[in-house]
Structures are given as structure tokens and as C-alpha cells.
């Protein structure tokens, strides 16, 4: 099979790979680059556990070919190392927002993206942002509580609720 050379930033560091054109980004990240926080669930983009940040925005890595990452910036949960990421991890632990951990990396990445852009996000914004990430363990409320506790509203909810 023919391979294609690609290069991109992975968690802020340059990487290069020679990949088959049909290789999924999720598989390249997990199997070629050791980024095991990028999980594979439904392989149809529905469950969200393969979520990464592509140029700073959440994206489904199971729906992308690795060649589509060429020249771009990819962040996995292993690459979240700023104070907000630390606060999110602590808050998830404090609020019991994880159980099996399968969805946690995608939830953290999505929440990080949301709070970076909207530190004042209310509960409805948090719910909407996380709605593409399925969790079968916590029932979501603990996850919402963990993220809400870090907003400028301090978990007070949405003013739009009334």
C-alpha cells in the first residue's frame, strides 16, 4: 500500500508519520503515537469518545483521516497541561464526575475548549457543549457540576432560566 508523509503539531510538539491514506486519525493517534486518551467507541462520530482538539476546536478523530491533520495542530487529553486543565481534572475528581473513565478525556477536552472561550458559561451552555459526548456511568449531572464549579458564575446556573 502507498503511504503519505504527514507532519503536524501534537500537543504542541511537531510529529511526522508515514501513513496509509485510509488510516483514521484516531488510529494514528492511538497506535502510532501512543495517545491512548483518544478512545474509539462507535466509530461513527456519535459517541464522542474520540474527541480531540483540532486547531483548538473539538473534532471527532474517528471521522477524520490522519492525512487531514497534516499541517494542523492536534491536542489530546495528554496535552492539556495549563492551569485550567488542572482545575478541570481536580473538579472532576472532587465532584465524582468520572467512573469508568472512558468518556473522561473527551469530556475534559470539550469542557476545556468551552471554558477557554466562555469562562462565564452557564449550565445550558455547558450541557449543549458536552451533549455530543456520551457517558454511560455518571448520568451527566456530576460532570455538569464539575464544569459549572469552574465558571465565573461559580455554578450558579444560567441567568436565562428565569
Domains in the chain with CATH codes: 4-79 (3.10.20.30), 83-161 (1.10.150.120)
Strands 73-75 and 51-54 come out as antiparallel
Where do runs of H (alpha helix) occur along the chain? 25-27, 83-94, 104-117, 123-130, 141-148
Q: Encode pLDDT of 98-146 as tens digits.
A: 888 889 999 999 999 999 999 999 999 999 999 989 888 877 899 999 9
Contact 39/102 with Cβ under 8 angstroms? yes
Q: Could you give the percent of the chain with pLDDT greater than 70?
A: 93
Tell me what pLDDT residue 162 has. 32
Overall average pLDDT of the 153-159 stretch: 50
Amino acid at each position: 500500500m502507498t503511504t503519505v508523509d504527514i507532519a503536524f503539531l501534537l500537543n504542541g510538539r511537531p510529529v511526522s508519520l508515514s501513513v496509509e491514506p485510509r488510516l483514521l486519525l484516531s488510529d494514528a493517534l492511538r497506535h502510532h503515537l501512543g495517545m491512548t486518551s483518544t478512545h474509539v467507541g462507535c466509530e461513527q462520530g456519535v459517541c464522542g469518545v474520540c474527541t480531540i482538539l483540532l486547531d483548538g476546536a473539538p473534532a471527532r478523530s474517528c471521522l477524520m483521516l490522519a492525512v487531514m491533520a497534516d499541517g494542523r495542530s492536534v491536542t489530546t487529553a495528554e496535552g492539556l497541561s495549563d492551569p485550567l486543565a488542572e482545575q478541570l481534572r481536580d473538579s472532576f475528581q472532587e465532584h465524582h464526575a468520572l467512573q469508568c473513565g472512558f468518556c473522561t478525556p473527551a469530556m475534559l477536552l470539550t469542557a476545556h475548549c468551552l471554558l477557554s472561550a466562555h469562562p462565564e458559561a452557564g449550565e445550558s451552555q455547558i450541557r449543549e457543549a458536552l451533549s455530543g459526548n456520551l457517558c454511560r456511568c455518571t448520568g451527566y449531572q456530576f460532570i455538569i457540576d464539575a464544569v459549572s464549579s469552574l465558571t465565573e458564575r461559580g455554578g450558579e446556573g444560567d441567568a436565562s432560566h428565569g
